[in-house]
């Protein structure tokens, strides 16, 4: 069985096949290898292969939406945005819509679908009654050595927050939460290269909310608020700071289970920390260090879906409102939190 693209080129043989089941009717389209087992879904079942010890998949990517000229999930663009997350020579490419439908089952005319270019669906190639392409996601099969033994179709961007630090008080020249002194006073508690800094008052207000003029707030020097830069008669608030670090610094933190308490129909997907802690007693720590949100069906990180979020932080949880989206409806998300590991 073979297929062709708009320009007449043959579908690469690296694309094998998936069997889609919908209301008892099967159709075939390019996807994965044989050696199959059936996974049931409400309307569509996907036949997936058992794990291949010599190969692994990247996670799903979605860098474009079809509102302009089409959906351009090209390898060059993906590599620019997701540096180091796709192997040099992918063995296979897999694409599907955000709702899990194979491209060859959508009726879309596909311009490019290969491991050299990536995936491209152009709106101008579609029949006049379709107007534009569906929104697609893609992933790539790579040698297992690329994945370092980890399940590549799972999010791998592991980061965590340090403890809060408050080494100085505003009286005198201001509040100096500088990295040099913080490291000297807290050996081993701050990673070598933090990726993010967060500052707030002891009451939980951000610098923007206090109206203070901040002299410095960065991951190389730390945080400084100078009294001399504040309006006459005003002094800096008393701040605490923390830093975001990458693995392996996060070895002493553990993830919770995944939680999916809400679905998009209605006003959106509300995975708030308050509701999740109330519904899952003693499973989530009071002050999570990090939150991770991915789509329920394809495990795409929320930040890569192109959707707009009202809330996405470890102190409040995750909220996606339908009214904020281009197409009027959020994807369905699940979340988990990183907490200090419980002592056995």
Q: Encode pLDDT of 241-298 as tens digits.
A: 999 887 666 656 678 889 999 999 999 999 999 999 999 998 998 888 788 898 988 7
How many CA atoms, within 13 angstroms, populate the side-chain half-sphere of residue 43?
3
Rounded distance, CA 124 to CA 278, Å?
50
Q: Which has the closest alpha carbon to 121: 202, 62, 181?
A: 62
* Residue 224: burial class (beta carbons within 10 Å; 0-12, 13-18, 19+): buried
The token duo for 227 is 């009294």
What DSSP line would sit under 179-233, residue for residue? HHHHHHHSTTSS-SS-SEEEEEETTS--HHHHTPPPSEEETTTEEEEEGGGSSTT
pLDDT of residue 165: 92
Residues sharing a CB contact under 8 Å with residue 51, sequence separation 6 or more, in sequence order: none
pLDDT of residue 286: 87
pLDDT of residue 331: 93
Rounded distance, CA 31 to CA 49, Å?
10
Rounded distance, CA 96 to CA 22, Å?
16
Widest CA span in the chain: 79
The token duo for 65 is 């939406």
Q: What is the pTM of this model?
A: 0.38
Q: Answer whether 299's CB lies under 8 Å from 154's CB.
A: yes
pLDDT of residue 54: 56
pLDDT of residue 85: 82
pLDDT of residue 125: 93
Q: Answer whether 31's CB lies under 8 Å from 3's CB.
A: no
Q: Which residues of the chain have pLDDT under 70?
A: 1-55, 147-158, 247-253, 342-344
pLDDT of residue 220: 93
143 forms beta bridges with 55
pLDDT of residue 16: 31
């Amino acid at each position: 069985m073979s297929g062709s693209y708009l320009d007449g080129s043959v579908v690469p043989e690296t694309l094998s096949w998936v069997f889609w089941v919908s209301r008892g009717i099967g159709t075939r389209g390019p996807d994965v290898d044989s050696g199959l087992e059936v996974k049931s879904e409400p309307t569509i079942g996907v036949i997936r292969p058992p794990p291949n010890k010599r190969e692994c998949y990247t996670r799903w990517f979605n860098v474009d939406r079809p509102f302009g000229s089409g959906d351009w999930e090209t390898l060059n663009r993906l590599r620019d945005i997701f540096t180091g997350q796709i192997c040099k020579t992918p063995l296979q490419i897999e694409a599907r819509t955000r709702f899990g439908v194979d491209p060859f089952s959508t009726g879309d005319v596909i311009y490019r679908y290969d491991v050299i270019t990536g995936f491209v669906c152009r709106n101008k190639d579609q029949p006049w009654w379709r107007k534009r392409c569906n929104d697609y996601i893609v992933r790539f099969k790579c040698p297992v050595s690329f994945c370092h033994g980890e399940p590549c179709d799972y999010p791998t961007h592991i980061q965590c927050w340090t403890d809060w630090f408050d080494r100085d008080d505003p009286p005198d020249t201001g509040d100096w939460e500088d990295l040099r002194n913080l490291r000297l006073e807290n050996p081993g508690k701050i990673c070598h290269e933090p990726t993010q800094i967060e500052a707030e008052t002891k009451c939980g207000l951000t610098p923007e909310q206090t109206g203070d003029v901040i002299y410095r707030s960065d991951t190389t020097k730390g945080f400084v608020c100078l009294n001399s830069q504040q309006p006459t008669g005003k002094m800096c608030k008393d701040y605490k700071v923390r830093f975001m670090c990458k693995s392996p610094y996060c070895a002493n933190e553990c993830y919770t289970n995944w939680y999916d308490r809400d679905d998009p129909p209605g006003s959106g997907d509300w995975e708030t920390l308050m509701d999740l802690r109330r519904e899952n007693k003693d499973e989530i720590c009071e002050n999570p260090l990090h939150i991770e949100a991915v789509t329920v069906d394809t495990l795409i990180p929320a930040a890569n879906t192109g959707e707009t979020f009202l809330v996405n932080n470890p102190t409040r949880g995750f909220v996606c409102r339908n009214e904020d989206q281009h197409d009027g409806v959020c994807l369905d998300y699940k979340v988990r939190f990183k907490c200090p590991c419980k002592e056995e």
